[in-house]
Amino acid sequence: MHRSVRLTTLTSMALLALGGIAQAQQQPPQAPNMTFFVTSSGPGKGAELGGLEGADAHCQKLAATVGAGAKTWRAYLSTNTNLAEPTKTVNARDRIGKGPWQNFKGDVIATSVDDLHSANNKLNQATGLTERGNKLPGVGFTPNYHDIMTGSQPDGTAFPGNMNMTCANYTSSQFGKVEVGHVDRTGLADTAQAHSWNSSHQSRDCSQEGLISTGGNGLLYCFAAQ
Amino acid sequence: MNTTMRSSILASAALLALVLGGAAQAQDAANMTFFVTSEGPGKGGDLGGLAGADAHCQKLAAAAGAGSKTWHAYLSSSTNAANPGATVNARDRIGRGPWQNAKGVVIATSVEDLHSAGNKISKESGLTEKGTVVNGVGDTPNQHDMLTGSNMDGRAMPDNVNLTCNNWTSSNFGSAIVGHVDRRGNADTIFQHHWGSSHMSRGCTQPDLVATGGNGYFYCFAVN
């Protein structure tokens, strides 16, 4: 074989290999059987998610990037009746299907809606993975992103209508607060609410900065409803 | 009877009526066991805790001639990371009633009555310690929001929310549940008509309280 031909062949092989690496970097790991994840990122406008529809679409979009887009994805969020939107009460627990739900690695985090809202659920920092299979930085990490928006009470139902714990039903980065849960089940105090995955405390406000300031980053729980 | 004498009797009668009237008014103020603060401490939701709020009630009551009673603010506080074990229900700290306003109108006969649909709190009866009406919906500015930090039963909110401005110690953190003394709001909902638990304030600063229709006022009750 002529020397230049050999070089060309080697170069081609190297290029091919490089291309393969580039492709692997662009293509996230696939998880077609996943039915639960925490969003790796939020829409970026604080708790203004475009309402429940916008939040669901965000879940769907992220799920599609890892090969799980064939399912119907729902954000775990409640909305409540308020001045702007009377009779808007929706309970997060009623919109996520029946379970069981499993994470990126196949770990079942809850077998049913009741199980999910009981002390028996298996949601914690090790299992509360993003759609890409990554853990989230919790207490002890800088920054801490353990606050996951839910707008819900511990049993997964909406707050009463005299409270705005949903940033005006996820349409505002200005008005109200949003209730969050701790995906790492850890907080500043050894209390039931600090250990709650879905109802730990309210955010400072509804802006992205406000969410970050209390230990979050505008992240959501997503469940495959079917 | 000559004209001078008749005039003098009339004048005496008028004077007596005036004195009696004044006495009646003073008597009502002395018997007052409920009022809305005519002013707040001025630092939004920072009232100096429950103790500071109670002292504010006591001070205003004393200025109106009702300082011999023990006054408590109608406020709840809740357990949170900063204040473990701090849960206090507003309904448990106001005595047993009945309570009457600066004009002698009974606004509730008991704690149960106060937290039922039968209570008589309204724009007309929810008077300040001076006997004045508080601005409500339709007035400018609207100051109908009363700080309570309580649910409709007069109890503390759960621990996963901070709707007491850090138990009335902060003008920075949290929000405050307020009630509408005029029983009116922007919508026809049970909450908007509620005197004790209508909605959250925007925040805990004085401007935040003003922004949502308040001015940092609260309810005061004589406990004895």
What is the ipTM, given to two decimal places? 0.82
Q: Mean pLDDT over residues B200-222, rounded?
A: 96
Rounded-to-integer distance, Cα A133 and Cα B107, Å: 60
A180/A149 same-domain check: yes
Residues B68-77: tens digit of each pLDDT: 999 999 999 9
Rounded-to-integer distance, Cα A101 and Cα A31, Å: 13
Chain B interface, best mutation among A157, A162, A204, A206, by max B CB count within 10 A? A162
Q: Answer yes or no: is B146 within a domain.
A: yes
Residue B73: give the domain boundaries.
32-222
Asked whether residue B201 carries a pLDDT value surpassing 90, the answer given is yes
Q: Bridge-partner residues for B200, per DSSP? A: B177
CB atoms within 10 A of CB B65: 17
For B151, the closest chain A residue by CA position comes to A162
Q: Is B151 on the interface with A (CB under 8 A)?
A: yes
- Which residues, in sequence order, are CB contacts of B51 under 8 Å at separation 6+? none
CB atoms within 10 A of CB A114: 14
* Percentage with pLDDT > 90 across chain A: 79
A positions 182-211 inside 8 Å of B (CB): 187-189, 191-194, 196, 199-202, 204-205
Q: Is A87 on the interface with B (CB under 8 A)?
A: no
**φ, ψ dihedrals at A201, nearest 5°:** -165, 175
Residue A128: give the domain boundaries.
31-224
* Percentage with pLDDT > 70 across chain B: 86
Residues A174-187: tens digit of each pLDDT: 889 999 999 999 99
Report chain B residues whose CB lies below 8 A from the CB of A201: 160-162
CATH number of the domain residue A71 falls in: 3.10.100.10
- Kindly report the nearest CA distance between residue B204 and chain A, in angstroms: 11
Q: Mean pLDDT over residues B78-100, rounded?
A: 87
Rounded-to-integer distance, Cα B167 and Cα A124, Å: 31
Q: Which of B19, B132, B148 is nearest to B88 (CA)?
A: B148
CATH number of the domain residue B51 falls in: 3.10.100.10
Q: Which amino acid is at B69?
A: K
The total domain count for chain B is 1
Residues A183-210: tens digit of each pLDDT: 999 998 888 899 999 999 999 999 999 9
- Kindly report the nearest CA distance between residue B72 and chain A, in angstroms: 24
Q: Answer yes or no: is B6 within a domain.
A: no
- Which residues, in sequence order, are CB contacts of A3 under 8 Å at separation 6+? none
Give the tokens for residue A66: 């890892």
- Which residues, in sequence order, are CB contacts of A126 under 8 Å at separation 6+? A135
